[in-house]
Amino acid sequence: MDREKITLTGSPETMLATLYARAVDSRAKRPILNDQEAARAVERIDYDFRWTGINAMTAAVVALRARQLDNWTKEFLGAHPDATVLHLACGLDTRVQRLDRSSTIRWIDVDYPEVLELRDRLLLRPSGDYRMIATSVTDEEWLTEVPADRPTAVVFEGLSMYLRNDQGKSLIQRLTARFPSGELLFDSYGSMGIRLQR
């Protein structure tokens, strides 16, 4: 099996720590998320994951956060079976593979072009109405590519800490102006939490 050499740097590189944490959780005696797709992806990557500092405890925290966002997304899709899911800064997250979604759900993953290229090489492409938009979420033009004809769940995990206040505010204003109904599902960190994460 060919292994993928990673050349990402900066914030896109941090998605590897999250992926690795979910893989570590999948090997636990009682996994929280049991993300086998993440475990398979880690096996295919030529990368020194020791730099991440991920251990069983931090892997559990990452898995709990992912499970909560999965649950919120499932609740939204249960109430809106013809919804759009807009997954911002998706990285190598396998939420679209983890969730049992109907064929009527439109799913759109958004991230940098180099991230989506890696995603395409490492993860199985989901069936159904699935597409990707290759861009930075802070760019303003990409949102016009997303139809605004359905209730929309906008999911962003591990993104808010990388946005300046003005970027976060602008993004949320654009999203809420674009879609007539939906939910924003995300995690956030205060300045202390960001410092503790180094």
Asked whether the predicted pLDDT for residue 12 surpasses 90, the reply is no
| Predicted local distance difference test score (pLDDT) of residue 194 | 52
pLDDT confidence band for 192 (50 / 70 / 90): low
For 148, the enclosing helix (H) or strand (E) is: none
Single pTM value for the model: 0.92
Q: Is the pLDDT of residue 99 over 60?
A: yes
- Decide if pLDDT at 15 tops 70: yes
Query: Any long-range contacts for 123-129 (C-beta under 8 Å, 24+ apart)?
Result: 123/37, 123/41, 123/92, 123/94, 123/97, 124/37, 124/97, 126/96, 126/97, 127/103, 128/101, 128/103, 129/103, 129/104, 129/105
